[in-house]
Amino acid sequence: MTGTRGNSPSRRTLPAATLPAAARERFLRLAPDGPDEMGREMARGPEAVASTLALLEPGAPAGARALATVAGASRIVLVGTGASLAMLRTVAPSWRVEEARSARRLGDGRAASRPIVVRESTEAVFAAPDGDAFGPGDVVVAVSQSGTSPETVAAARLAVASGAALVAVTAHEASALSDLSLHTVLIPIDEERGAATESELATLAALLALGGALPSDAGTTAVLAAWLNEIVQSWPSIEPDVAALAVAGRTWIVGLGATSGLAHAGGLLWHEKVHREAAGGSVSEFRHGQVEAVGPGDAVLVLVPPARSQDLEAYLALLGRELAELHASELRLGTEALPTMPAALPVAAGLLGMLLRLQQLARGTAHAAGTYVDGFRVLRRVVRAAPPRFD
């Protein structure tokens, strides 16, 4: 079944899901922008994206310095943890595509000589698989919404000590991470008390712009912000998909290529806000391991890359047949499930729209299931800000 633009994701549901009356009432009480904390923060996402990209406009001093530093790297290392790492995994394929295009345009062979590496923060600190976490000539882009994630700050210290140039992407300019950096790309948002939805969206925009996959001129930014606001306002259209997810025994969120990073972000959101059993990762990880745990009544949310091909469609058809055999519900989220993306926007902008819709699905599912709470239940109470060292 193929979805159409402006509708909710296409899906195969066995059987068709409907929300119980009480759950539907909880969902219908919600406006696109609240009254819950998550709704308010998500509704500010488009403005946060616009404010972030304004700092990276051509001619904006701070953004120009960060862009020039990235452009001059011999190797780029992207570092983060949690939702920040998920955003880095999402943008890395787009960075590599833009790098290859630039090399072909310049004819300088740079695509082969300038690798782009994604490292989880503790991997960089304790066990870089190639034995070469950071070095002189590297530009390290370290991402942390708070700027105090202990693992990422530790990795940033190691990067600076190794002679790498550090670019911090954070919502807090007065933070340990920013203090270590040569340049800070600021995510200008209000304080977030719960899951990093607003900052996650703005961080993804900043990273796409830093990698050259998203223009940061005022005209493109205005079109992008308007489209994202349209997605915010399309909130009522997700009810059928919320119904399938809210009654699911378990939820599996899977992606291909760039959307694998979004799937990891979705898995985190389900644990943070939905508080239901869920897993996020790549389709290949799912098909070659996790599929053993899938059963009737489970929901599999497939995140489809914005760029489509015949090979991709064949692979999705194969996955669909497998899920039907397991009697699991399949939902697909791609750009065709969103309000029509303006032609003026590059393909990579579709990742921002998909992330926003994924956040909406998490919010709707949490409320329909009756599990939503503002803030965090555990994280802020247990996980501390960055210490001087690991004690």
Asked whether residue 240 falls in the same domain as residue 152, the answer is: no
pLDDT digits (tens, 9 = 90+) for 4-20: 334 455 555 545 567 88
Asked whether residue 249 falls in the same domain as residue 365, the answer is: yes
Asked whether residue 60 falls in the same domain as residue 38, the answer is: no
pLDDT digits (tens, 9 = 90+) for 303-348: 999 988 899 999 999 999 999 999 999 999 999 999 999 999 999 9
pLDDT digits (tens, 9 = 90+) for 199-255: 999 999 999 999 999 999 999 999 999 999 999 999 999 999 999 999 899 999 999
Asked whether residue 81 falls in the same domain as residue 136, the answer is: yes
Asked whether residue 37 falls in the same domain as residue 146, the answer is: no
Domain's final residue, options 158, 187, 216: 187
279 in any annotated domain: yes
Domain's final residue, options 130, 155, 187: 187
152 vs 20, residue with greater confidence? 152
Domain of 120 in residue numbering reads as 56-187
Asked whether residue 180 falls in the same domain as residue 287, the answer is: no
Asked whether residue 302 falls in the same domain as residue 248, the answer is: yes
**Does residue 386 carry a pLDDT above 80?**
no
Q: Which of 81-95, 115-129, 355-369 has the lowest mean pLDDT?
A: 115-129
pLDDT at residue 47 in the model: 96
Asked whether residue 131 falls in the same domain as residue 176, the answer is: yes
Domain's final residue, options 149, 167, 187: 187
Kindly report the pTM of this predicted structure: 0.91
Mean pLDDT score, 268-289: 93
**Does residue 165 carry a pLDDT above 70?**
yes
**Does residue 391 carry a pLDDT above 50?**
no
Total number of domains constituting the chain: 2
Asked whether residue 179 falls in the same domain as residue 294, the answer is: no
**Does residue 162 carry a pLDDT above 80?**
yes
CA dist 295 → 249, 287, 388 (Å): 8, 13, 46
141 in any annotated domain: yes
Asked whether residue 275 falls in the same domain as residue 364, the answer is: yes
